[in-house]
Chain A
């Protein structure tokens, strides 16, 4: 079965602290993984995808096939990073399968 698990509903950190949003997936083939973000009163938008291997807004995510994980990391959180973050998997049928989301709250 294809599944994406985000174990934390809420992650609260102080400004300047490191952030790691966890994402684990279940998929038998070679997955394509994404992180989407939804800021307050804005539409859902793509943050990054693993095949790009890029850093967006200071965030990075590495695909670990051994641990079937795609955790999102940022070394120093900013208040403007507060948002809802969704991990998503694109499997064989090209459908996106989303995790349940993690709300990141960065306190001043």
Chain B
């Protein structure tokens, strides 16, 4: 799990602004994931990617976008269409979809 990094640790967003959260892994994992964690609701899947240049919507993809141009990187953009973006965002990766997921330290997004 030490091979997954997320930045920044804290991020502030203004109304109408798009912000991008970084997720990098050096574990040579094919699959990567983005989750949103809200108090009392556990983790919910936003987007996931099984392989480079491919990604699928999770359960709460509206207002978010991703890209997977490199195996090591899976950035998440929170767009202005996401009306309730304040949350803790967790990135994870796994060797394959059937393998154990390892999590990054998370980014806390706050709206000004």
Which range holds the interface residue count of chain B? 20 to 34
Complex Cα gap A100–B44 (Å): 10
Binds A, one of B13-21, B78-86, B99-107: B99-107
Size of the chain A interface, CB-CB below 8 angstroms: 17
Is A99 an interface residue when CB atoms closer than 8 A count as contact? yes
Complex Cα gap A46–B106 (Å): 16
Partner-B contacts on A (CB < 8 A) = 4, 6, 9, 43-46, 49, 86, 94-101
| 26 CB-based A-B contacts, threshold 8 Å | A4-B42, A9-B40, A43-B104, A43-B105, A44-B90, A44-B103, A45-B1, A46-B100, A46-B101, A46-B102, A86-B42, A86-B43, A94-B98, A95-B45, A95-B48, A96-B43, A96-B45, A97-B45, A98-B35, A98-B42, A98-B43, A99-B42, A100-B40, A100-B41, A100-B42, A101-B40
